[in-house]
Amino acid sequence: MIIGVVKESFPGERRVALVPAVIPALVKAGGEVLVESGAGAAALYPDAVYVEKGARIAASRAEVFAEAEVVFQVLGYGANDRTARADLALLRPGQALIAFLRPLGDPETVKEIAATGATAFSIELMPRITRAQSMDALSSMSTVAGFKAVLLAALTLPRMFPMLTTAAGTIPPARVLVVGAGVAGLQAIATARRLGGAVSAYDVRPAVKEHVQSLGARFVELPLETASAEDARGYARAQDEAFYRRQRELMARVVAESDVVITTAVVPGRKAPVLITAEMVRGMVPGSVIVDLAAERGGNCELTRAEETVVEHGVTIIGAVNLASTVPYHASQMYAKNITAFFLHLAKAGALEPNLEDEITRETLLTRGGEVVHPRVREALGLPAMTKAGASAT
């Protein structure tokens, strides 16, 4: 089976879907790896190293799509809404595509992929179960983003993070609040603690309290009803506006006491909830910093502008987008290990054989045989449910 890797086309994207170190595992499983020339250059993986590990180099993107039976990407069409539409003309019936595709954010793009006849797998829909941990690329990229968010805050804040006792007196530590204790949030907590910050964290899910405290941070508890805050897949569940309004009222004091606020709260397929209002920003100490990791989905801060850094009421608000791409070497390494583990899970006897009885396969499979087959995406598109035979119900 020929596995194709193309150069990422999203503006500024520096990651690559496959790094040389994982190629031997794919070759051992019967695969042949074809890499577009220069695909790994921005992540510091030159063509020569791919060749050393057993890959072939293709002269063009079209050549990779023409030869490959399965194509690996980081940002496929849907996740990349700027340039990836051109790839639709290169996809063909029966060809497999594995990538971030953002199907719940823009389900109409899934219909377009289905129309090509390709079999598409959306890696961000990986279920959060023990068997799938090695394949969870969303968690890997969130880890990188949480780490980099703290570094951005530290570079921007006109104060130092650690407490220092000097001949000039004692410098108190920076007060850091992390909102959302998922993968990105927990990494942000750990990084801020390593830099010496006094860290607090809040999450609507009470179950994460132990994780926060195990990292040495204080867990902020608010008197809110949170029994329905988490779904069966381990993701935060959207709440009604009355809940968010009460949450904002209770958080105002905590935010005002913070030098740095890092927000990470997202709900799959939904606009990010607004947790920090303009009035709350006004109450922060001038020079404070907000890094909004939900900027791409509208932002957790009312004043966030995606891909921009703005100053409002003396507070710097960083609308961070695609932070994982700013650490391309290790982000690519992590993604490559995830996607390779997923591919090897799918591939049987030298061919892709999607087993819909398997939860990992069933939850990530988006399109097959010209149809959108994922139940939640079909529901979002207003399509009827699929029958067990795989055809649309009438």
Residues marked active site are found at 128, 133, 136, 139, 235
Cα-based torsion angle of the residue sequence 140, 10, 294, 213 in order, rounded to the nearest 10 degrees = 20
3-state DSSP call for residue 252? helix
Strand partners, 312: 315
- What b-and-e string marks burial along 132-170, b requiring 16 or more CB atoms within 10 Å of the CB? beebbbbbbbbbbbbbbbbbbbbebbebebeeeeeeeee
Which tokens is 96 given?
């497999």
Alpha helices, H only, the chain: 23-28, 47-52, 61-67, 108-115, 137-156, 183-194, 209-214, 241-256, 278-282, 328-346, 359-364, 375-381
- Compute the radius of gyration of the chain from its Cα atoms: 22
Q: Is 343 exposed, middle or buried (0-12, 13-18, 19+ CB in 10 A)?
A: buried
Taking 3-state DSSP, the helix, strand and coil percentages for the chain, each rounded to the nearest 5, stand at 40, 20, 40
Neighbours of 376 (CB within 10 A): 14
Neighbours of 367 (CB within 10 A): 27
3-state DSSP call for residue 73? strand
